[in-house]
Amino acid sequence: MANWFECKIKFDKVQENGSVKKVTEAYLVDALSFTEAEARITEEMKPFISGEFSVSAVKRTKIAEIFRDDTADKWYLAKVAFITIDEKTAVEKKSVSTMLVAGADFKGAYDNFLEGMKSTLADYEIQAISETMIMDVYDAKLG
């Protein structure tokens, strides 16, 4: 099971008009620890950022699953409640999970989520889908 960390990188970015602006971008990294997450995001960013940059934050997330779309450029968080019924009391219970979904826009993320959930037998309801500031997702490196 993946262990996702959100890492924020602070660096100077050249804007379209040629000016330089200090920006902070968020990335998601699969890592075993905070230390590994920081090392991984540093390694992943080196080829893309000229000049100095710093890891300004690393925090653990509760993302249960990721639905990808290579044609999409945005990431959305889907808050989903899985519905179960307690056999003893016959009471409906909801357990909430957070999933990250790629999409070009809100509808694309929604469609991608539904496609990813097609094989699920559990009853669920979407409680929220919201755009994130995450720029990219880096899986664990095997080997």
Q: In the prediction, which pLDDT does 143 show?
A: 53
Question: Rounded CA gap, 31 and 134, in Å?
Answer: 16
Q: In the prediction, which pLDDT does 141 show?
A: 75
Q: In the prediction, which pLDDT does 88 show?
A: 86
Instruction: Give the global pTM.
Output: 0.89
Q: In the prediction, which pLDDT does 140 show?
A: 86
Q: Is 73 helix (H, G, I), strand (E, B) or coil?
A: coil
Q: Which helix (H) or strand (E) holds 9?
A: strand 4-14
**Contact of 89 with 82, CB cutoff 8 Å:** no
Q: In the prediction, which pLDDT does 142 show?
A: 66
* Best CA proximity match to 110, nearest among 130, 140, 139, 83: 130
Low-confidence ranges of the chain (pLDDT < 70): 1, 142-143
For the chain, give the number of residues: 143
Question: Rounded CA gap, 97 and 52, in Å?
Answer: 37
Q: In the prediction, which pLDDT does 86 show?
A: 83
68-102 pLDDT tens trace = 999 999 999 999 999 988 888 888 999 999 999 99
